[in-house]
Amino acid sequence: MSLKSPSGSLDNLEIARGASLKPIEDIGNEMGLGSHLLEPYGRDVMKVSLDAVAELADRPLAKYVVVTAMTPTPLGEGKTTTTVGLGQGMGRIGKRAVVTIRQASMGPALGIKGGAAGGGYSQVVPMEKLNLHLTGDMHAVTAAHNLLSAMLDDHLYRGNRLGLEQSSITWRRVLDVNDRALRNIVIGLGGRVDGVPRQTGFDITAASEVMAILSLTTSLRDLRERLGRIVVGYTPDGDPVTAEELKAAGAMTVLLREAVKPNLLQTMENTPVLVHAGPFGNISTGNSSVIADLVALRTGDFVLTEAGFGGDMGAERFFNIKCRASGQSPDAAVVVATVRALKAHSGRYRIVPGRPMPEEMLAESPEDVHAGAANLLKQIENMRLHGVTPVVAVNAFPTDHASEHAAVREIAESAAVRCAVSSHFSDGGNGATELAEAVVEAADERSEFALLYPDSASLREKIETIATSVYGAAGIDVSAQAARQIETYEKAGFGRLPICMAKTHLSLSGDPALKGAPEGWTLPVREVRASVGAGFVYPICGDMRTMPGLGSDPAAAHVDLDADERTVGLF
């Protein structure tokens, strides 16, 4: 059977089916996880008991490496594939690696983005299970979130004893599907017994605060406490109303008691992978779970964790939110770069989501690569800003030219950082050995990790620090509404929380059209929201869609069963 898709590219699903899998219990045992810590979910997936965190606490810590990227194009630059390939490359040079990644959201998987298992010969398998349901964690988050929504509306129906002001209610409903028709809805229509009419809407499950809580919690008890702190709205006096007060947090915890356990899978070359939590990258942390990392850090030589989007997004949140929650410090950072992203940041080309790359971008042009260097250099600087040693990983595409790879090496050399060209997509672990060696060297250097701002800084100071230091803004422009919200949150005692900036991932700035590393611009902060249970405040800097829509030719239209009743069309 051909491993080519109709477009001529490698067919990820067919490649994944050709993998030689080890029994998943053997993968766990090789990590030092006893059978009593492993709970089977079918043949190829295990849940890892939370008891593993305490039981393994006396083992030495692995080196901790975060994989991020330069600011991506709408096509993505292959961070998951690089993370998986690097894990396999570590195995090829005699290092035991554990990969930790987010769980796939079915909305994007069946929309434009595709799956989240990696690609080519650097995938997490079984690819179908990872992208479609897995162990049901997404559905558990959906159920827990919507239980709170139902109890909130029932509270309004039964007299609103807590005095919630309807216009201040921030808690919506969620669903793990791309459905633009649900962004804004009216509920409670019908007769008196059908509830209190009000305007609300749906977000995608990955955008739920419950998902963010799942990603940042450290134990079942911590999960219970965080869920209780969720703020659903405010009274006319500005006092927060919580899930605890609505008596929903206990049942929400029970619905999530299996979902809080990380999922164990493997790569095509049998590297262990912990897949857990999938917080939205634009408005949430965009990182996999703290619990998965705490397990991984005691079960290998290296832990390779992926942070969503570019270094200004997922990596900044990894450093300042996730590491705050876990108490762990990274030893190195991999910044994924591609020839096409560097060319895109030259400002000479236009890439449209869902459409092929412009043909002219495929022509050999090291000059265009150098013209886009500013963005990569800024993301390298962002790693150093946190005291972390960066390594540039060139994710090689078949359409690249040797002169263009040489240009990326020259850019990295100008910043005095290690650089490796990796062909892991087409060659698996063998194609990532140069990158693995470079990461081992970088992680052996003394790390001086530092958070970007102290807890004691004001919310406005934290926002301005991120905007000016990480994004390169000249300053921030806080709307009157945002200023009032900041004042309300600080009055309510939320001022010590870290910041999770909600902005476009397609630019270092708040404007997706600005490429490279723009200067002299101001970041608009039009609204500020608080995820108190998750433990962060998120300013809205632009138009953030928390419920995606389907494109004109969604991936779902191509997913089906073939004559042998096998899934086809998933990518």
75 assigned to a ligand binding site? yes
CB 124 within 8 A of CB 118: yes
Binding residue per annotation — 73? yes
* Residue 112: C-alpha distances to residues 1, 259, 368, 389, 568 (Å): 26, 26, 27, 34, 16
17-22 long-range contacts (CB < 8 A, ≥24 apart) are 17/127, 19/123, 19/125, 19/268, 20/270, 21/125, 21/126, 21/266, 21/270, 22/266, 22/270
Considering only the C-alpha atoms of the chain, give the largest distance between any 2 of them, rounded to a whole number of Å.
71
How many C-beta atoms lie closer than 10 Å to residue 478's C-beta?
A: 20
3-state secondary structure 257-303: CCCCCCEEEEECCCCEEEECCCCCCCCCCCECCHHHHHHHCCCCCEE
Phi, psi (rounded to 5 degrees) for 434: -60, -45
Closest CA to 72 of 275, 267, 314: 314
| Residues making up the chain, counted from first to last | 571
Is 79 marked as binding a ligand? yes
Which of 88, 136, 175 shows the shortest CA–CA distance to 276? Answer: 136
Q: Is 233 part of any known ligand binding site? A: no
Residue 80, annotated as binding a ligand: yes
Q: Are 163 and 236 in contact (CB under 8 A)?
A: yes
- The token pair that represents 375 in the structure block: 């963005």
> Is 74 annotated among the ligand-binding residues?
yes
> What's the start-to-end Cα distance of the chain, in Å?
17
Task: Say whether 142 counts as a known binding-site residue.
Answer: no
- Three-state DSSP state, 435: helix
- Residue 199's φ and ψ, nearest 5 degrees, are -85, 135
For residue 195, say whether it is annotated as part of any ligand binding site. Answer: no
Q: Output the known binding site.
A: 73-80
Q: Which residues are annotated as a binding site for ATP?
A: 73-80
